[in-house]
Amino acid sequence: MNALDPHPGTDPPPGTLSRRHWLALAAASASPLLATQSRAQAFPAKPLRMIVGFATGGANDIVARMLAEPMGQALGQPVIVENKPGADAIVAAEYVARSQGDGYTLFFAGSGPLTINPAIYAKLPYDAVKDFTPISTVGTLGVVIATRPDLGAKTVADVIRLARDRPQGLSFGSGSTSFRIAGETFARQAGIKLLHVPYKGGGPAVQALAGGDIDLMFADPASVVSLASAGRILALAITSEPRPQSMPNLPTVAESGLPDFDFNFFIGLAAPAATPAEIVRRVSEAVGASLNQPALRERMLALGIRPAASTPQQATDRIRRDIDRFTAIAQAANIRAGA
């Protein structure tokens, strides 16, 4: 006689389960876990998609494409970059948040959609904390203040003077909410008026600046390096190191007279919330291995982006910390999306 089957060979009494039924239930309850483990062990079995929420030409797009090849080599499958620009990267964020958590759809994003959108939008179609599993930070970067060459400003002090002399202020462009909040904070600290003009990424914004459509912009270093080197725009200052290698003498904003204007953003990689921990770990390790390659590090530093791999937990901690910081800044300056 078996304790699980007190009546072998006969139907069990009403209200009891036979050993066969117990085993069936155990197998059923274990099958989802076994399936998840099997998927994690087989990962990756096909190419991965890296979703970028901005148009081509900005730091997110540029670094994503730099990272894709060595990361694909580390994983043994190609990594394909796909741009889904629109609405301050909300389109891309919602797309990834609603995707299957199998590791094949990743979000290459950073401060804008993951830490600043939650601070300035009253309502979002995604939750930056609950809907994503952070994988790793990829790099950190400062904010460059740049103008059109014919504006007549050679320094940050010149920009402040010109803005004060014009009742309507100056116009500034940005490619994401990260740089919008930087520009709004700059205006508040300098005591000037600036009119914000949004673009779908750093690339379109810097092209608008070069074309004379806007007076100045707040941007990631990668967006401005090419046109600044060609003399089509004028870079005035950067908030923090590293300076782009092509602009070694670019002063910091603190050196230019605004020591409290201190912005440092991150770019990184995240997955949908349901992605298994083993897959997250493997992708995070691939990012770390890629960023250890001297060639990739040099390319990023040349653009003024400091390589900065992290563990998933470290990335999570940074996101939570930055949400609190930018929420406080947005509330103090009364910065709201659409305002």
CATH number at 180 reads: 3.40.190.10
284 or 241, which is more confident: 284
Regarding whether 279 and 226 lie in a shared domain, the answer is no
Regarding whether 153 and 117 lie in a shared domain, the answer is no
How far apart CA 207 and CA 199 sit, in angstroms, is 10
Cα separations in angstroms, 308 against 61, 70, 136: 17, 16, 9
Indicate whether 131 belongs to any domain.
yes
How many domains is the chain partitioned into structurally?
A: 2
Tell me, what amino acid is at 221? P
Does the pLDDT of residue 339 top 70, yes or no? Answer: no
Bridging pattern class, strands 105-110 and 265-272: antiparallel
CB 54 within 8 A of CB 83: yes
- Rounded mean pLDDT, 252-274: 91
* CA-only gyration radius of the chain, Å: 25
CB neighbours of 170 closer than 8 A, spacing ≥ 6? Answer: 151, 159, 162, 163, 192, 193, 194, 195, 215, 216
Residue 234 in 3-state DSSP?
strand
Regarding whether 60 and 77 lie in a shared domain, the answer is yes
Domain that holds residue 112: 48-140+264-333
Regarding whether 221 and 180 lie in a shared domain, the answer is yes
Regarding whether 151 and 132 lie in a shared domain, the answer is no
pTM summary value: 0.81
Q: What is the pLDDT of residues 158-186, one digit of tens each?
A: 999 999 998 888 999 998 888 999 999 99
| Residue that finishes a domain, picked among 204, 238, 272 | 238
Indicate whether 256 belongs to any domain.
no
Q: What is the pLDDT of residues 1-19, one digit of tens each?
A: 444 444 444 555 555 555 6
Regarding whether 315 and 268 lie in a shared domain, the answer is yes
CATH number at 116 reads: 3.40.190.150
Q: What is the pLDDT of residues 50-103, one digit of tens each?
A: 999 998 888 899 999 999 999 999 999 999 999 999 888 999 999 999 999 999
